[in-house]
Structures are given as C-alpha cells and as structure tokens.
Structure 1
C-alpha cells in the first residue's frame, strides 16, 4: 500500500529526427545531475518501437515537490535541454488507486 501523498510522474519526450542520441543524453543528464528535493525514485525508458521516444517514471513525496522542481527547472536552463525535442516534454501526474 502506498502513502497517499506520494505521486508517480510519467515524463514523455520525443526527439527531433536525427537527434535521438542528444535527446536521450539530455534526459539522463537532467535527471542525474539536478537537485530534486522530494524525488524518491526515477527510472528511465526508451521505446523499442520508436527510437526517438523516451520516458521517465518518477515517484515524488507529493505533487508540490514535483511542481517546485519543475518551476526551478524552467528558470535554470531547461529551454536549452529541449532543443533536440519535437515538442515540450509531456508530464502526467498519477496517484495510486486504492
């Protein structure tokens, strides 16, 4: 049974054609190097049927911690990291159904 305050966030990114390697590295670098208070775990995935699609499943202490992180990321160079993407990353905040 999970803590009711925790949330799982699905992050989805799609690379521009020819920039799959750059997008993959940018995702991994952003997750591994930035400070994320409230992040409990993160697992990254690549789509076997779409070489330009990447996902991260992250568990956060609560939605506020995730939103605070995203606010901070928006002011600390996230625009440079998304240069290799077709569109802005898509995020979905999920809560366990009990």
Structure 2
C-alpha cells in the first residue's frame, strides 16, 4: 500500500431515540463480520456529548477499495441496520494534506 493512495473514511451515524444500543451494536457487528478487502484499520467511537451518535474512522488502502466495499454492502442490503437510525449514515472520504 502506498501512503499516497491511502484514504481515511469518517462514518457518522445517528440513532433514533431509544435505539441507541441497537445502533451501536449494529455498527460494531457490521465492522466485525463483513469482509473488507483493502481495509487497513477501523476504530469506532461514541460521542459523549451527543448520545446516540457514533463514528467509525477507517483507513483504506485506496478509495477504490472503499467504494467497492460500499457497493457490496448496498447489494447485500443494509435495511435492518438503518432502521434504527434517524437518517442514512454520513461518510466523508479524506486524504492527508501537507
């Protein structure tokens, strides 16, 4: 992996009121169980100032690997996981500058 090609992806999810535990568990389950070729690392966070808001910060070998994973996830269906969310997950694909 070339560090020039690597991207960091920030994923943000917001649980529906009363669904915080399910949203957290679904996020962790998705990270732990799905195949992710090209995923270098993933760290998950809970926002202490905004209960029910969770983040995953992932490093991917390249943007193509991330997009391939998202395509596979969409085809596999994520309807059950997103039912406990207020809105679809937000993602930001980031590249280091400087």
- Fold in common (TM above 0.5): yes
1:43 aligns with 2:43: yes
Unaligned 5+ runs, structure 2: none
Runs of 4+ in 1 over 4 A off after TM superposition: none
Q: Which string of whole-angstrom CA distances, capped at 9 and with x for unpartnered residues, describes residues 44-89 of structure 1?
A: 0000011110000000000000000000000112121111000000
Matched with 2:89 is 89
Q: Secondary structure, in 3 states, of the residue corresponding to 1:75?
A: helix
Q: Provide the C-alpha distance between the structure 2 equivalents of 1:80 and 1:68, rounded to a whole number of angstroms.
A: 21
Matched with 2:25 is 25
Structure with the bigger percentage of strand: 1
How high is the TM-score relative to the length of structure 2? 0.96
How high is the TM-score relative to the length of structure 1? 0.96
Matched with 2:78 is 78
Q: Provide the C-alpha distance between the structure 2 equivalents of 1:18 and 1:81, rounded to a whole number of angstroms.
A: 15
Q: Secondary structure, in 3 states, of the residue corresponding to 2:52?
A: strand
Matched with 2:67 is 67
Q: Provide the C-alpha distance between the structure 2 equivalents of 1:28 and 1:83, rounded to a whole number of angstroms.
A: 16
Q: Provide the C-alpha distance between the structure 2 equivalents of 1:87 and 1:57, rounded to a whole number of angstroms.
A: 19
